[in-house]
């Protein structure tokens, strides 16, 4: 599956190049540009799907995962939350980060897996969240667990769209590989994702 995901990327990249060339050659032709915009959207959907397949192959692999040395949560995870905040904000969402604070506790993570987790969650919010409602990010601490809670309101018009559900499944599997958990909750149109990491000594 991993090879298949990689094999999909090359022709998709080539196709995007041809579409960009056609756009440059037909700047003044509105009808052609509308068609090219649709093609661009479909190619991006295929690219997203190939990325999901790649993530799934990694998440479901039996290969041993090396965890980085335990470090304070602010340094282990802070940059990923910051990048997520930036991308979501650039897409027009209002992000509430008042609930984020850092305590001197440590977690052990794998940076590559963590990057894939936050990429999946960021894409889901940009696709399905209601842009008129806040996205809320919070950190929660208990005796043995550090938790990141991200909540948003699902756009009613998009909530009926078909989804593979593969992105969230990948997040769940990737968290397990780091000895953590991903928990999802839905209350009416409010959606909650909780990432739980074991605190290390």
pLDDT digits (tens, 9 = 90+) for 84-139: 999 999 999 999 999 999 999 999 999 888 988 998 899 889 888 899 999 999 99
Tell me what pLDDT residue 158 has. 59
pLDDT at 11 > cutoff 80: no
CA angle, residues 83, 84, 87, in degrees to nearest 5: 85
Hey, what CATH class is 71-198 in? alpha beta
3-state secondary structure of 154: strand
Tell me what pLDDT residue 181 has. 94
What is the residue extent of each domain of the chain? 2-59, 71-198
76, 68 contact by CB (below 8 A): yes
- For the chain, the straight-line distance linking the first and the last C-alpha, in angstroms and rounded, comes to 37
Q: List pLDDT tens digits, range 43-91.
A: 776 676 666 566 566 556 666 678 899 999 999 999 999 999 999 999 9
Q: List pLDDT tens digits, range 146-191.
A: 999 999 988 776 554 445 566 678 888 889 889 999 999 888 788 8
Tell me what pLDDT residue 105 has. 95
3-state secondary structure of 183: strand
Hey, what long-range contacts does 179-182 have (CB within 8 A, 24 or more apart)?
179/67, 182/117
Tell me what pLDDT residue 9 has. 60
Angle between helices 2-25 and 30-59 (to 10 degrees): 160
Tell me what pLDDT residue 142 has. 93
Mean of pLDDT over the chain: 83
């Amino acid at each position: 599956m991993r090879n298949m995901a990689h094999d999909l990327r090359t022709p998709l990249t080539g196709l995007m190049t041809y579409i960009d060339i056609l756009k440059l050659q037909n700047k003044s032709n509105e009808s052609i540009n509308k068609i090219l915009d649709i093609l661009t959207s479909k190619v991006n959907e295929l690219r997203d799907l190939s990325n999901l397949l790649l993530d799934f192959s990694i998440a479901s692999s039996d290969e041993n995962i090396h965890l980085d040395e335990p470090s304070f949560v602010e340094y282990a995870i802070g940059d990923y939350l910051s990048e997520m905040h930036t991308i979501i904000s650039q897409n027009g969402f209002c992000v509430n980060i008042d609930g984020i604070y850092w305590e001197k506790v440590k977690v052990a993570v794998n940076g590559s897996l963590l990057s894939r987790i936050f990429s999946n969650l960021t894409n889901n919010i940009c696709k399905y969240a209601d842009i008129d409602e806040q996205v809320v990010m919070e950190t929660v601490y208990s005796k043995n667990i550090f938790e990141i809670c991200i909540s948003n309101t699902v756009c009613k018009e998009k909530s009926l769209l078909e989804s593979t559900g593969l992105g969230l499944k990948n997040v769940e599997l990737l968290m397990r590989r780091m000895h953590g958990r991903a928990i999802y909750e839905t209350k009416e149109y409010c959606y909650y994702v909780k990432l739980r990491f074991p605190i290390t000594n």
